[in-house]
Structure 1
């Protein structure tokens, strides 16, 4: 296990699951957030990079996905864990390729998101949103911005409610940190879930969901010191 996080911090995808889960699952989510396993951020690295690059290229270069699968297929796995990880990345890319007809940029230009990005903060909890891709367009009222979040773990498919919380937090991230690029636009905020093989569009009802997020973060802040392995 990695070094524990002393201050409350959680990813946007996990926080969406936390808000909609029962107590036992919430406790598990918080333990993994405070004592994050080393593999969490790297498990789907190849798939994440290939998909983000493909999206940022306006979904024109299918060779990006094909090459990523080919390179993964050629890897020699030294152990069972790596065998599963490689297979998981290939499966994620192939699942993504089956969703292309469901992804609509609505005239926006896609760009790669920053490798590191500031967090949004609610009741003392740092929420890592970091869109893999940002979307930019110009409307009647001026420049508009949004972001795409990828979700991978096959054992944890998102539901409509969880995806809605993620897009609400994405909207807030754009408002807080991408305001120089324009106003956040719900139509440019989306989640691509490779676990459920679904593309979830952004929700327009942001305020109530962000109240729920704030309440959950208040609970997390209170519980954080008592969380143990």
Structure 2
């Protein structure tokens, strides 16, 4: 019987904005663990929160205010038929995510601006590393002099655990730098106060810090290190390719 493969190898350096933020706030040992997970990705299905994130994004864009629609959506996921134990866990985890956000939403300090659909978020390359990002919705406002300011929001969630403010600062700083490189609306300028990392578990809206530009430059420099380390990152001991 052939040995079943457990991981796939990502040959070229690639990391998500989420893991890049984790990387920047981590010790060197943890940094190598993060990169190992990025280079050697498990083949087994992992629980993702796509349905929860799209539900919450729509709720915020619609501006309903009442969390009753979130509770209804979470209950719908729990009552949905599942074809396997994994699918059951997937639905329940997404329902937990939505319920937690509904609980913390009243205390969430969001900007009073326009919220728009996320659109497509293409990867960017920093010092030889492809960096992907998720944008759950975009933000836009007009200044008193009719100048356009834009931003983007990413969600983070860990059940029962608040996001580290330092990690959030790195991720929001990345969002600002990312939008500076990718914004396509004529005359629009990204604004730090509109670049958000929303902790859906802790109920905190983290805006890009005042040193976001230097942080993004540091992430750019760190990607050179990631590209240098990448060929020599060893696989997990139990990995089968």
Q: Same fold (TM over 0.5)?
A: yes
Q: Does 1:133 align with 2:175?
A: no
Query: CA contact under 8 A between 2:104 and 2:201: conserved in structure 1?
Result: no
What do you get for the CA RMSD once the two structures are aligned? Answer: 2.4
Alpha-carbon distance in structure 2 between the residues aligned to 1:131 and 1:77: 28
Give the alignment's TM-score, normalised by structure 2: 0.83
| Higher Cα Rg, which structure | 2
SS at match of 1:149: strand
Match of 2:15 in 1: 10
Gaps of 5+ in 2: 1-5, 236-241
Give the distance between the partners of 1:177 and 1:64, measured in 2 at CA. 33
Counterpart among 164, 167, 180 of residue 169 in structure 2: 164
**In structure 2, how many angstroms separate the alpha carbons of the residues matched to 1:226 and 1:173?**
28
- SS of 1:215's equivalent? helix
Q: 1:171, 1:184 within 8 Å by CA — same for their partners in 2?
A: yes
1:64 positional shift: 4.0
Structure 1 runs not aligned, ≥5 long: none
Confirm or deny: 8 A CA contact 1:92 1:152 kept in the other structure.
yes
Per-residue CA deviation, residues 130-188 of structure 1 (Å, 9 max, x unaligned), is: 31100011013500100110012338742111101111110112211124161111111
Counterpart CA distance in 2 for 1:21 and 1:104 is 27
User: Do residues 224 (structure 1) and 230 (structure 2) align?
Assistant: yes
SS in 1 for 2:42: coil
**Structure 1 partner of 2:124:** 120
Is the deviation greater in 1-10 or in 50-59? 1-10
Is the deviation greater in 120-129 or in 167-176? 120-129
1:215 aligns to what?
A: 221
Determine the structure 2 residue equivalent to 1:74. Answer: 79
Per the alignment, residue 36 of structure 1 pairs with 41
Task: Answer whether contact 1:134 1:146 (CA < 8 A) is retained.
Answer: yes
Partner of 1:36: helix, strand, or coil?
strand
Does structure 1 retain, via aligned residues, the 8 Å contact 2:192–2:212? no
Q: Count residues with an aligned counterpart.
A: 227
1:188 maps onto 2:194 in alignment: yes
Partners of 1:111 and 1:30 lie apart in 2 by: 33
SS of the equivalent of 2:130 reads strand
Displacement of 1:194 after TM fit? 2.5
